[in-house]
């Protein structure tokens, strides 16, 4: 029947009230069009004769109707199943109208063609795959796990081309190449060579090669020997300068030498070393 006005906000579609089958004299199992809980939820008639529940037939798995004896093969539909249990309606929501609910769960995938807004706390996996995910402050555009944020707040960037805006805001600088890859501050005057700060950063061990000569082994090796090194030492007003034994420095360790003003080896506290370059 036609009506005047907008489409009703919701409509209900009732399940079937009766299902018809045709017997063939051999088939005993038939599939119902509506799930039922027990045998008494349906009224079954074969050739006009009402069948006794749980004796002449039984229902298993909610939708499989099984007869004790195969129904006859009379012409046309000769098996009638009437659903006696309360009908359960299903909602067919108009596609052009909004949907509001307090809670809900999807048993399969949900596709959002427009903008998804979350005002509460989102838990679990929100987006995984090749699509994008954006918050007011963070945007992930690749979906390839290039950025990982752990529960403790540790951020892992899995590429070598990430940049950060400069202090003045006019340019960007490469994050990976702009970092110091190793540093150490040690006490060369001590009777036993010691680090002032637990080997500093990316230095796993120290070795004393004699007066003013020290070897620092990297925790994580450098990619090649073309890294830049800065070393300095100090004994106060007399002054000292640095030297580097390039012949024995490699990707796993760097050897440094401190000279005094007479070009002789001299221990220094502190002796400070920095390495810039590419890690392996």
pLDDT computed for residue 245 by the predictor: 60
Q: How many residues does the chain have?
A: 280
pLDDT computed for residue 132 by the predictor: 54
pLDDT computed for residue 134 by the predictor: 57
Structure-block tokens of residue 275: 């390495």
Kindly give, in sequence order, each residue whose CB lies less than 8 Å from that of residue 191, ignoring residues fewer than 6 positions away.
none
Q: How far, in Å, CA of 62 to CA of 64, rounded?
A: 6
Contact 213, 264 (CB under 8 A): no
Structure-block tokens of residue 223: 């990619």
Q: Does pTM top 0.95 for this prediction?
A: no
pLDDT computed for residue 49 by the predictor: 95
Kindly give, in sequence order, each residue whose CB lies less than 8 Å from that of residue 193, ignoring residues fewer than 6 positions away.
186, 187, 206, 207, 208, 214
Q: What is the mean pLDDT of each run of 10 residues along the chain (280 residues)?
A: 58 72 95 91 94 95 93 88 71 73 79 76 59 56 63 73 84 86 85 74 90 90 91 65 66 87 79 90
pLDDT computed for residue 193 by the predictor: 75
């Amino acid at each position: 029947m036609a009506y005047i006005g907008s489409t009703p906000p919701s409509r209900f579609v009732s399940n079937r009230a009766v299902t018809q089958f045709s017997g063939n004299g051999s088939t005993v199992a038939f599939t119902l069009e509506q799930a039922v809980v027990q045998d008494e939820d349906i009224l079954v008639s074969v050739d006009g004769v009402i069948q006794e529940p749980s004796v002449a037939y039984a229902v298993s798995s909610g939708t499989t109707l099984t007869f004790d004896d195969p129904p006859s093969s009379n012409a046309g539909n000769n098996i009638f199943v009437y659903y006696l249990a309360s009908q359960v309606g299903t909602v067919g929501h108009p596609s052009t109208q909004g949907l509001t609910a307090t809670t809900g769960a999807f048993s399969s995938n949900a596709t959002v063609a427009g903008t998804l807004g979350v005002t509460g706390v989102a838990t679990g996996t929100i987006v995984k795959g090749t699509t994008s995910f954006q918050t007011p402050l963070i945007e992930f555009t690749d979906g390839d796990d290039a950025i990982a944020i752990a529960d403790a707040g540790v951020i892992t960037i899995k590429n070598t081309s990430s940049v950060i805006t400069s202090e003045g805001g006019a340019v960007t600088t490469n994050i990976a190449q702009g970092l110091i890859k190793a540093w150490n501050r040690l006490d060369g005057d001590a009777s036993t060579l010691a680090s002032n700060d637990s080997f500093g950063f990316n230095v796993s061990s120290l070795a004393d090669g004699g007066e003013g000569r020290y070897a620092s082994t990297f925790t994580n090796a450098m990619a090649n020997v073309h890294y830049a090194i800065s070393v300095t030492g100090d004994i106060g007003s007399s002054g000292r300068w640095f030297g580097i034994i390039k012949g024995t420095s490699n990707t796993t360790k760097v050897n440094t030498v401190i000279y005094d003003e007479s070009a002789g080896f001299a221990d220094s506290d502190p002796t400070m070393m920095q390495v810039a370059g590419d890690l392996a």
